[in-house]
């Protein structure tokens, strides 16, 4: 691992921990993504994590806070854009017709995206707005 990769690994650790500490499972390889999607049961929240402070600093807290409801996804997973590139690319293959966006969030069921929140609906918004966006989707699909 080169010095830049090592640095980014250290920088991204608290960002990973913020989601894994809230119950998200990291998918680190394309194989893990395929296994997850092929065995997906119920609804799943997929967070495409990112180092970008302006948007990801809103996305992670919003994802966590949205789970403080009775209605919520059955499964929680995350891929890390820019860090786990192959896993992120594989997950994006399942976001049919949706432009890559980091960070972003997808509510999925049976391998299909039911609701998607791109970076444009995260950056520049209040955490509460993003939480409400997620809760509305949970109430509709979970």
- Residues taking part in catalysis: 52, 54
85 with 48: CB under 8 angstroms? no
CA–CA dist 106, 31 (Å, integer):
19
Please name which of 56, 76, 57 lies closest in space to residue 66, comparing C-alpha atoms.
76
Tokens at residue 132, please? 């409400």
- Tokens 């939480």, residue located: 131
**Range 42-67 burial, b when 16+ CB lie within 10 A, else e:** ebbbbbbbbbbeebbbbbbebbbbbb
Q: How far is CA 23 from CA 45, 123, 127, in A?
A: 11, 24, 19
């Amino acid at each position: 691992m080169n010095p830049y990769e090592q640095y980014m690994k250290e920088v991204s650790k608290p960002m990973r921990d913020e989601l894994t500490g809230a119950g998200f499972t990291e998918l680190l390889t394309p194989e893990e993504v395929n296994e997850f999607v092929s065995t997906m049961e119920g609804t799943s929240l997929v967070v495409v994590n990112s180092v970008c402070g302006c948007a990801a600093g809103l996305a992670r807290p919003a994802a966590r806070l949205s789970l403080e409801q009775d209605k919520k996804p059955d499964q929680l997973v995350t891929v890390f854009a820019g860090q786990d590139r192959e896993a992120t690319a594989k997950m994006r293959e399942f976001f049919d017709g949706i432009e890559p966006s980091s960070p972003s969030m997808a509510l999925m069921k049976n391998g299909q995206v039911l609701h998607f929140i791109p970076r444009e609906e995260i950056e520049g918004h209040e955490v509460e707005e993003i939480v409400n966006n997620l809760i509305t989707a949970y109430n509709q699909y979970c």
